[in-house]
Amino acid sequence: MPEGYEKKRGRSDEISSCMKNIFHKFFRFFLKFLKWFFIVSIVSVILFRWIPVPYTPFMFVQCAEQVFDTKREVKLKKDWVPLEEISPNLQLAVICSEDQNFFQHHGFDFDAIEKAVEHNRKHKRTHGASTISQQTAKNVFLYDGRNWIRKGLEVYFTFTLELFWSKKRIIEAYLNVIEFGNGIYGAEAAAQQFFNTSAKKLTRTQAALLAAVLPAPRKFSVKNPSPYVRKRQAWILGQMENWGGPLEFETDAKK
């Protein structure tokens, strides 16, 4: 064979071998990353089953956005309180507003997802179908966003929350980290900010108003509620009335 051909073939083999080595190194790195991601994430989920969540990635991202947005005040108010210190009115209001099948599903409400998909095909204003478990997973461990990577992580963390946490712990964490207004996180901070009271003393009307702004707490206002927010508040109060009694965290006995 010509000498030039042998040189080209040798160089091609070297390039191929180099690419294989790079691929193998990347693959090993990726496997190590996945291994440590699963270890750290599961340990975090288990720890937060028992200890209060201090601050979240979502809060830090929002603070950064506040710094660069001159129209928003830089604010972060958050006070963790146990579920026993949060009014049953607010517990019921958020379930009636956000996830009435909270006690029946295991993290994902597939009937609601199907209805939302069907509605969004026919209407410009889209409806979401996130459960309280999904919202808790997003607000505790993730950040706001609509890309597929974040949604995939949301599915993963929702599954782990339902696996390691009780329903009572999920609603407790949710009510302590959810945003009720610009930089106002959790039921206690919201009660003090908007009603000059504690989370434990929130009335049904106040609780329904807080729940009414949850779909978009930076768009809707508790202090100056729009007609739409008032309409949602009235609907939530009606749903609370129809519920027929206090919440019962039966799944706690299983965890």
Q: What is the pLDDT of residues 84-94, one digit of tens each?
A: 999 999 999 99
Mean pLDDT of the chain: 84
In a domain, 255, yes or no: no
Residue 74 covered by a domain: yes
In a domain, 37, yes or no: yes
Shared-domain flag, residues 1 and 73: no
Domain carrying residue 31 = 1-47
119 and 235 together in one domain = yes
* 253 domain residue, yes or no: no
Q: Does any domain span residue 109?
A: yes
- Residues 167, 59, single domain; the answer is yes
**Residue 255 CB neighbour total at 10 angstroms:** 13
Encoded tokens for 249 = 């965290």
Do the domain assignments include residue 239?
yes
CA–CA gap between residue 100 and residue 105 (Å, rounded): 10
Q: Are residues 21 and 89 in the same domain?
A: no
Query: Residues 58, 43: one domain?
Result: no
152 and 189 assigned to the same domain = yes
Q: Which of 11, 29, 47 is the last residue of a domain?
A: 47
The answer on 138 and 42 residing in a single domain is no
pLDDT per residue as tens digits for the range 31-90: 888 888 889 999 999 999 999 998 888 888 888 887 777 777 777 888 899 999 999 999
Q: Does residue 254 sit within a domain?
A: no
Total number of domains in the chain? 2
What is the arithmetic mean of pLDDT over 121-128? 61
Distance CA 144, CA 153 (A): 12
Is there a single domain that holds both residue 82 and residue 98? Answer: yes
User: For residue range 73-123, what is the model confidence (pLDDT) as tens digits?
Assistant: 777 888 899 999 999 999 999 999 999 999 988 888 777 777 766 656 665
pTM: 0.83
Same domain, 111 and 220: yes
Q: Do residue 25 and residue 69 come from a single domain?
A: no
Q: Let me know whether 185 and 224 are in one domain.
A: yes
Return the exposure string of 118-133: e unless at least 16 CB atoms fall within 10 Å of the residue's CB, then b: eeeeeeeeeeebbbbb
State whether 144 and 203 are in the same domain.
yes
Residue 243 included in any domain? yes
